[in-house]
Chain A
Amino acid sequence: MDDDTKLLNLALDAGEIMMTSGAETYRVQDTMLRILSVSGRKHVEALALSTMLIVSLPREEKGPLSMARGVSDRSVNFEKICAVNNMSRSFVAGKITLEEATQKVLEIHYAPSFAPWQRILGYALTSGGLTMVYNGTFWDGVAAFFIGTLLGIMTYIMSKRKTSYFFSSFIGGLLTGLLACLFHLILPFTQIDMMIVGSIMPILPGITLTKGIRDLLEGNFISGNAKLMEAFLIACAIAAGVAMALSIFPNF
């Protein structure tokens, strides 16, 4: 491989990691453009659409070079976004060479994350804390803490088996609704709506929705529309799950 191909590969790898880690569209494009600008050529182009990345490098002597890559996996991982950002900055500043940067991207791809029990604790804290924020009582908060724990365990199992996002959201909503109804049966003074609203918070696509609207306002219409659609489908799946649970217990 010549240096141009390696450079394009580096830009695509960096863009793919950022895209799957939930970075904003403009940041992905910006990072890829910055990496490509190292080549010193004019009119380089980097595009990030909702599920694909395209980079191209016009070369006068050997003919233009262009590469594309599909991105299907998506999650949220801030650590990787920060790492790629730092890597691209020091690469553009000339502190690391192309080979070192490629090696670095590979390391970032396999970077360790929080242990499963820590992430499950994160779900529990988010559910419990937000139930208390929305004016829930102490026992609502405790119940939501337990619901959040089980939700975290479920999400962990689902992500291990690579279930489709629609199905896992549906099961998440169903589980939340069923557990909230059960808690209400055992402890009649807890409020079902408080527990459900707080507990679905960590799986709700509020961030995707907000990012989608922001993409639209910035003029990235394709990724904006795709994100809006994704957020809408996930919200529908969660609502369908909760609705099914609530119709199993029709008295509430």
Chain B
Amino acid sequence: MTDITLKMIVFQAAFSFVGSWGYSIICNAPRRELLYSGINGFLSWFVYMLVFSYTESATTATLIATMAITATARFLSYHRQEPSILYQIPGVLSLVPGAAVYNTMQAAIKGNILSTYSNALTGFKLSGAIAIGSLIILVLPYKAFEIFPRFGKKKQNN
């Protein structure tokens, strides 16, 4: 993958927006938060492809993209007064190693044991990168995300 252009990155990231929007409908997110989940999905693939085009390493790209999303999710969580999981899960969706699961399964059908193991390990590595990336941001104190004054809705007391 050498010919990664900015146009292509934005094009794919726009579809990541659509995918994350759809996934937050499946997860039954509140209607007013759908847009923000979609924006997080856009951001995840945008950062992933930017880092990937520099480092050519899917693991590094996944790690940094997850950190970016989790930071955005916590930021939105402070401003919109909702749990951060609401923005993080749809955002992280496009980084989930579905291709690794598929490749593992296909290698297993063809009887290629070495390829089966290496693909399964790739899947574990990528999901480990997602977990560690989100944990690095989650251990930061809550104050780190209060740098701007609040925007959007006020806290509901229902």
Contacts and interface: CB of A to CB of B under 8 A. Distances in A.
B83 A128 contact: no
Contacts of A95: 157
Contacts of A218: 135
Given A78-B28, A210-B131, A239 B101 contact: yes
A126 B23 contact: yes
A172 B89 CA distance: 21
Given A90-B157, A213-B127, A213-B131, A202 B26 contact: yes
B83 A81 contact: yes
Contacts, number: 165
A246 B134 CA distance: 35
Interface stretch (B51-59, B103-111, B141-149): B103-111
B94 A133 contact: yes
Q: Is the interface of B mostly helix, strand, loop or mixed?
A: helix
A171 interface: no
Given A132-B12, A210-B130, A197 B102 contact: yes
Contact of B25 (A23, A114, A243): A114
Interface residues of A, number: 59
Contacts of A193: 102, 106
Given A27-B83, A197-B102, A133 B15 contact: yes
B156 A86 contact: yes
A206 B93 contact: yes
Contacts of B101: 200, 204, 235, 238-239
B112 to A, nearest CB: 14
B94 A78 contact: no
A54 B27 CA distance: 27
18 contacts: A22-B27, A78-B85, A90-B158, A119-B25, A119-B26, A122-B24, A130-B94, A133-B15, A133-B16, A133-B19, A201-B98, A206-B93, A206-B96, A206-B98, A213-B128, A239-B108, A242-B102, A242-B105
